[in-house]
Each structure stands twice: as C-alpha cells, then as structure tokens.
Amino acid sequence: MSKRIPMMAGNWKMNMDHVQATQLVQKLDWTLKDGKHDFGVVEVVVLPPFTDLRTVQTMVEGDKLDIRYGAQDISVYDDGAYTGEISGPMLSKLGCSYVVIGHSERREYHQESDELLNKKVEAAYRNGLTPILCCGEGLEIRKAGHQVAHTVAQIEADLKGIPAEQAASIVIAYEPIWAIGTGEVATPEDAQEVCAAIRAKLAELYSAELADGVRILYGGSVKSDNVVGIMAKEDVDGALVGGASLKAEEFAKICMFTTA
Ligand code: 13P
C-alpha cells in the first residue's frame, strides 16, 4: 500500500505578472477553502515566473497559506558571473519547495540536454529544493511506439549519480509533448503505461521501496473534466497543469478531484 500523497502543480509558464499572481493565489486559496479542501489529502503547488516568487512568498508566509510554490528553472551554478541566471540559493531564500527541471519547452527552445539537466538536479538538491523533473516524448516517437524507451532513458540520464537519499524525494512529471497545450490529452491508459515504466526504472536504479514512494505526475491538457480518469490510474500521483492552472476556479476543481 503506497503512502503517496497526490500533488496538483500549476505551471504558469510565462504568464501572470506579480500583480496578477496576487489575485490568482488569493482566489485559489479562497476557492479551495470554500470547498473545504484538505491540503493534507491533495498537495497544492503553484509554479509562477521568477518575478512573482517574492510576492507569492509574502502571501503564503504572511497569511499562512497551505499552498506550496516553486520556480520553473534553476541555474547549475550557485553564484557568479552568469548574467540572467537565477540560482538555487536565491530560490531557497524565497521559500521555494520545488523547482521544475527539464520541461519540454526548455529542452526544445533552450536546447537543454540531459547532461545539463542532471547538473540542475544536483543544484536543486544542493540547495534544499525538490526537483519536479519533466520527461516525455514528441509525436514522432509516440507514432513509432518508442515512448517508454525514450522517456525512461531521459530519467536515467537526468538522475545519473544522484544518491538514493536525494532521489527518494524527487517528483517526476511525464508530459508527452504532443499533449501539451493542444487539447489532445493522453488517455489514462497512455499515461499509466509510461508512468508505470518510469516507476519500474526507479526500482531498477534504486529500489522497489524508493520507487513506491516517488510521486509521478501526468501533464498535458489536464482539465477538471478529465482529471478524475487520469488520477484513477495506479501509477499516476498527480498532475502538472499548464493552461488550466491560470484560472483559479478551474485549478481548484482539479485540486479537489477526490470530491468530484
Ligand atoms: P497544458 O496543461 O497547458 O497542456 O500544459 C501542460 C504543461 O506543459 C505543464 O507543465
């Protein structure tokens, strides 16, 4: 019997300035509280742009909100002459719990390699941040039926040399690229197939016990009307939500999927 607590994480991507962030987080908090959401049953996370993090920290700490937050990227370096980069120490000082690493949009538009992402995973752990490590295949690979091999190879490369004590807390997000922002949601069976394979890879790299405790999220066009089916799958422990996380009521519904 697994003790995994489901996580619903809203990846805002490059949306919402810090003023809009205040409104969104406030409304999300009210809506969840109105719906008597139990934050101990489903963890709620927001992942705003860097420029919003201080504002979100002030609200979460000041009003003692149960919402957790994190960043969308991290530098492999802790300080120095790296213009435009944001470091792990800066993110931990901002109270971030999580950091997204290896989102397909960064792999694709910023040419982030598995070798670099492996260093980002190290940087996150070195600074007390939990990675939300993203993986997933594009349409060509899916059509060829190689989604499992492709995705587990990414995970193996990104976790190279990461010790079990650290890997035990990792969150993995399986996001098939063809289902991101397209309205094309993978079927619950598609999600389950790859999430189960990722868990099996973790068992092989570490141990069955470690693999059983790791949360694996699905991401790609998740909405309140498809989340229940996806969450019914054994190896899916939550969702990484893009577009639908920008609307407080919709994201709150996703977080409250157990009461749907
Ligand atoms: P959408 O939910 O907008 O498809 O985005 C998914 C995603 O990329 C989350 O990281």
pLDDT tens digits along 21-56: 999 999 999 999 999 999 999 999 999 999 999 999
With the C-alpha atoms ordered 28, 236, 181, 187, is the resulting torsion angle positive or negative? negative
| CA gap 155, 198 in Å, rounded | 8
User: Mean pLDDT score of the chain, rounded to an integer?
Assistant: 97
CA of 20 to the centre of ligand 1 (A): 19
| CA gap 147, 139 in Å, rounded | 9
Q: What is the pTM of this model?
A: 0.97
Q: Is the pLDDT of residue 124 over 60?
A: yes
| CA gap 133, 172 in Å, rounded | 5
Question: Which contiguous run of DSSP H or E holds residue 8?
Answer: strand 7-11
Give the catalytic positions in this structure: 103, 175
CA of 79 to the centre of ligand 1 (A): 30
pLDDT tens digits along 207-254: 999 999 999 999 999 999 999 999 999 999 999 999 999 999 999 999
CA 243 to ligand 1: nearest atom:
3
CA 179 to ligand 1: nearest atom:
4
The average pLDDT across 1-24 equals 94
pLDDT tens digits along 52-77: 999 999 999 999 999 999 999 999 99
The average pLDDT across 165-177 equals 98
Question: 192 CB less than 6 Å from ligand 1?
Answer: no
With the C-alpha atoms ordered 227, 145, 173, 53, is the resulting torsion angle positive or negative? negative
Nearest to 240 by CA among 160, 131, 152: 131
CA–centroid distance for 206 within its chain: 21
Q: Which two tokens stand for residue 80?
A: 């120095």
CA of 61 to the centre of ligand 1 (A): 27
Contacts of 45 (CB under 8 A, 6+ apart): 7, 8, 9, 10, 67, 68, 69, 70, 97, 98
Given pLDDT bands bounded at 50, 70 and 90, which one contains residue 2?
A: low
Contacts of 73 (CB under 8 A, 6+ apart): 86, 99, 100, 101, 103, 106, 120
| HEC letters along 71-129 | ECCCCCCCCCCCCCCCCHHHHHHCCCCEEEECCHHHHHHCCCCHHHHHHHHHHHHHCCC
What does DSSP say about strands 215-219 and 43-47: parallel, antiparallel, or unpaired?
unpaired
